[in-house]
Amino acid sequence: MYIPNFDDMLAAHARIMPYIHRTPILTSSYLNDLTGAQLFFKCENFQKAGAFKVRGASNAVFGLSNEDAAKGVCTHSSGNHALSLSYAAGRRGIPCNVVMPRTAPQAKKDAVIGYGGIITECEPSTTSREEVFAQVQAKTGGDFVHPYNDPRVIAGQGTCSFEFMEQMEAEYGGPVEMMVAPIGGGGMISGTCLTLSHIAPDIQIIASEPEQADDAYRSFKAGHIIADDAPDTIADGLKVPLKDLTWHFVSNHVSDILTCTEQEIIDAMKMTWQRMKIVIEPSCAVPLATIIKNKDRFAGKRVGIIITGGNVDLDLLPWVK
Amino acid sequence: MYIPNFDDMLAAHARIMPYIHRTPILTSSYLNDLTGAQLFFKCENFQKAGAFKVRGASNAVFGLSNEDAAKGVCTHSSGNHALSLSYAAGRRGIPCNVVMPRTAPQAKKDAVIGYGGIITECEPSTTSREEVFAQVQAKTGGDFVHPYNDPRVIAGQGTCSFEFMEQMEAEYGGPVEMMVAPIGGGGMISGTCLTLSHIAPDIQIIASEPEQADDAYRSFKAGHIIADDAPDTIADGLKVPLKDLTWHFVSNHVSDILTCTEQEIIDAMKMTWQRMKIVIEPSCAVPLATIIKNKDRFAGKRVGIIITGGNVDLDLLPWVK
């Protein structure tokens, strides 16, 4: 198991720069008043392909030798990694095969196809996904870019916190005291740990998770990986389990994992749309929901929040009955 | 009739700076590909109180003498001016009375109340609004800040294009060739004309309007103001007629007025949410809808678009049946 390091992150940053946006950091006086904290939102919903996952995917795709790249790439993903890998492969001009649960949001499937990716559907369970994927990979021979348990992907996701720290210094007078990101498979959190443990080890890293998909929370408390086969949450990006690489970062560098209910996720999502005027996925509302639920932990602190993506099916909004 | 000038705009900018955001300019490769133009969106949906109108309202409120300010301010508005004036009055600590149509979006009414404004409802017609307002003004004696036919308001709205030009120079390598904004009463368009006719008279200024509220279009073609009493469009910010001051700017500086259907507005609105990940009101989708409808006019050009506001009732989205 190769553990990606800070130099891998720096190399990733240089490699992917031409293909990604330097996304803005937004603030909201309303949400600051509500939480008593100073919140800084890194808006990866404005990222290329609508999600932070394009960082890791681009690092993997553009790091391939010409010979390996010719065979294309393949992956399984609940959505954003699928379309990010399709985007990156499209930019390099190589094929991309993705296995997606048939229940993934239509907006994400459409985006994959729009970027030139080829979809094979599976059932919405980890078991089915892994079975179908094995068939697809055997058939295509493409390089497998795992959505999170891949050193190239984690190094790529780490560029987000690196940019965040630069921007905080340049635009907001210095760093934060805490950093909060959602946790599913743990790719973004691992990248965050990779970068911050090197350049700002005093920053507390908090992971946020839906109660109805709390395998990372239970793993964290138990001290070893506990996986659910088919968790059910509106935060469709957070249904996957930790794996050995992401567990390494989570177990070594995460200070705590906080959870919240489905209704708290929906409320925080709607509040973000209403007050910040940005379109975010349910997954990105999980950090804000846990901050609102645990105000005492955050009050008076400068807190970074990673808004992970904005690929929502606008015809199926959770607060519209 | 006092016509505000460039110095009034500069004075407004200095006066309101502490109370407003310098909103970002966003771009979208998807929308550039779709239209064949290079589009630059000035995002006043991220503005304080969620709309550009806070610029003019703040200029009026903070320009009052202490003696006049003590009596408060009052206005009538379909929404954004009401909450912008409430916000500005709240920042100065003076009362604000607003007359709003009972059909105005609940989100806007809630926001007015949240900022401390006092609402009196009227019927959704120009006649009713003016009648009810006369009663409110007589009772309160507050300074009347008209939503658009007021030199202080127009000078304030002009600060938006001024900022836009500075940002284009600093961030996007120079100016645009065309500037497109929605037109209702004409406040934003007049401010745009005021500023651009002084610093960049070569930039074509285009106004965009719903077919179902096309009084500005018909006025422009006729050469004099034609007012509708109760136009019906989803673009609730654009139902009001031109007045003498805004007609002055429109008739002297606007190159053309383009119109579009209700469905084209809804499609452009949804596309903006989906692709740009920002929450915009129906009114702000009108410029993009007219650009998509008249691609030949804009193809190959650098085009500025003013996104006027983001105060939407998230429970009543026009594409969700």
pLDDT score of A82: 92
A318 CA to centre of own chain? 21
Instruction: Give yes or no: residues A172 and A248 share one domain.
Output: yes
Q: Which residues of A touch B278 (CB under 8 A)?
A: 277-279
Q: Looking at chain A, which residue has its C-alpha nearest residue B108?
A: A274
> How confident is residue A195, by pLDDT bands cut at 50, 70 and 90?
very high
Q: Does A171 touch chain B (CB under 8 A)?
A: no
B24: closest CA of chain A, how far (Å):
9
Instruction: Give yes or no: residues A106 and A205 share one domain.
Output: no
ipTM: 0.92
Below-50 pLDDT ranges, chain B:
none
Q: Does A21 touch chain B (CB under 8 A)?
A: no
Of the three residues A128, A144, A160, the one that is the final residue of a domain is A144
Quick one: tokens of B135? Answer: 């009663």
Instruction: Give yes or no: residues B140 and B278 share one domain.
Output: no
Instruction: Give yes or no: residues B155 and B237 share one domain.
Output: yes
pLDDT score of A130: 87
Spatial neighbors of B176 by CB under 8 A, at least 6 apart, are: B40, B168, B203, B301, B302, B303, B304
The model's pLDDT over B254-307, given as tens digits with 9 standing for 90+, comes to 999 999 999 999 999 999 999 999 999 999 999 999 999 999 999 999 999 999
Q: From residue B256, how far is each of A306, B8, B184, B235, B236 by CA, in Å?
A: 43, 26, 14, 20, 22
Count of CA atoms in the C-beta half-sphere (13 A) of A177: 8
Q: Nearest to residue A242, comparing CAs of A193, A183, A285?
A: A183
Label residue B79 left, alpha or beta by phi (over 0 means left) and psi (-120 to 50 means alpha): left
Q: Looking at chain B, which residue has its C-alpha nearest residue A281?
A: B277
Instruction: Give yes or no: residues B297 and B165 share one domain.
Output: yes
A315: closest CA of chain B, how far (Å):
6
Instruction: Give yes or no: residues B165 and B249 share one domain.
Output: yes
* Alpha helix (H) residue ranges in chain A: 6-16, 29-35, 53-63, 66-70, 80-92, 106-114, 126-140, 151-171, 187-199, 215-222, 244-253, 262-276, 282-293, 295-298
Of the three residues A105, A124, A144, the one that is the final residue of a domain is A144
Quick one: tokens of B4? Answer: 């505000």
pLDDT score of A316: 87
Q: Looking at chain A, which residue has its C-alpha nearest residue B115?
A: A30
Q: Is residue B32 part of a domain?
A: yes
A19: closest CA of chain B, how far (Å):
12
Instruction: Give yes or no: residues A79 and A222 share one domain.
Output: no
pLDDT above 90 as % of chain A: 87
Q: Looking at chain B, which residue has its C-alpha nearest residue A45?
A: B277
pLDDT score of B230: 72
Contact between residue B164 and residue B43 where contact means Cβ atoms under 8 Å apart: no
Q: Is residue B320 part of a domain?
A: no
Q: Is residue B319 part of a domain?
A: no
pLDDT score of B125: 84
Which of A23, A277, A317 is the mutation pick for testing B, counting most B CBs within 10 A? A277
97-156 in chain A: CB under 8 A from chain B = 107
- Over residues A75-103, the mean pLDDT reads 93
> How confident is residue A108, by pLDDT bands cut at 50, 70 and 90?
confident
> How confident is residue A23, by pLDDT bands cut at 50, 70 and 90?
very high
Residue A181, pLDDT above cutoff 80: yes
B273: closest CA of chain A, how far (Å):
7
Give the total number of structural domains in chain A: 2
pTM for this one? 0.93
Q: Is residue A204 part of a domain?
A: yes
pLDDT score of A305: 98
> How confident is residue A110, by pLDDT bands cut at 50, 70 and 90?
confident
Task: Read off the DSSP letter of residue A309.
Answer: B
Q: Which residues of A touch B45 (CB under 8 A)?
A: 277
Residue A228, pLDDT above cutoff 90: no
The model's pLDDT over B6-18, given as tens digits with 9 standing for 90+, comes to 999 999 999 999 9
Instruction: Give yes or no: residues B179 and B277 share one domain.
Output: yes
Q: Is residue A313 part of a domain?
A: no
Name the most confidently modeled range: A140-144, A226-230, B288-292. B288-292
pLDDT score of A103: 87
Q: Is residue B1 part of a domain?
A: no
Q: Which residues of B touch A278 (CB under 8 A)?
A: 277-279
Q: Which residues of A touch B279 (CB under 8 A)?
A: 273-274, 277-279
Q: Which residues of A touch B280 (CB under 8 A)?
A: 277
CA A114, CA A213: separation in Å to the nearest integer? 30
pLDDT score of A105: 78
How many residue pairs bridge chain A and chain B with CB atoms within 8 Å of each other? 49
CA A297, CA B253: separation in Å to the nearest integer? 55
Instruction: Give yes or no: residues A168 and A41 share one domain.
Output: yes
Residue A321, pLDDT above cutoff 80: no
CA B163, CA B179: separation in Å to the nearest integer? 13
Count of CA atoms in the C-beta half-sphere (13 A) of A137: 14
Instruction: Give yes or no: residues A159 and A77 share one domain.
Output: no
Q: Do A317 and B319 touch (CB under 8 A)?
A: no
- Over residues A37-61, the mean pLDDT reads 97
Give the neighbor-by-neighbor strand order of the sheet with A204-210.
A25-26, A38-43, A302-307, A178-182, A204-210, A256-260
In this complex, the residue of A270, A279, A317 whose CB is nearest that of residue B277 is A279
What does DSSP say about strands A38-43 and A302-307: parallel, antiparallel, or unpaired? parallel
Contact between residue A280 and residue A273 where contact means Cβ atoms under 8 Å apart: yes
Q: Does A248 touch chain B (CB under 8 A)?
A: no
Q: Does B1 touch chain A (CB under 8 A)?
A: no
CA-based end-to-end distance of chain B: 47
Instruction: Give yes or no: residues B74 and B161 share one domain.
Output: no
> How confident is residue A104, by pLDDT bands cut at 50, 70 and 90?
confident
**Helix, strand, or coil here: B3?**
coil
Instruction: Give yes or no: residues A253 and A301 share one domain.
Output: yes
- Over residues A199-226, the mean pLDDT reads 97
CA A218, CA A239: separation in Å to the nearest integer? 14
Q: Which residue has the tokens 């649960």?
A: A101
Kindly report the backbone phi and psi dihedral angles of residue A302, in degrees, each rounded to the nearest multiple of 5, phi listed first.
-90, 120
Quick one: tokens of B268? Answer: 């452009």
Q: Which residue has the tokens 């960082």?
A: A55
Q: Is residue B100 part of a domain?
A: yes
CATH number of the domain encompassing residue A182: 3.40.50.1100
CA B193, CA B111: separation in Å to the nearest integer? 30
Identity at B30, one-letter amino acid code: Y
Q: Is residue A165 part of a domain?
A: yes
Q: Which domain holds residue B58?
A: 54-144
Of the three residues A112, A144, A176, the one that is the final residue of a domain is A144
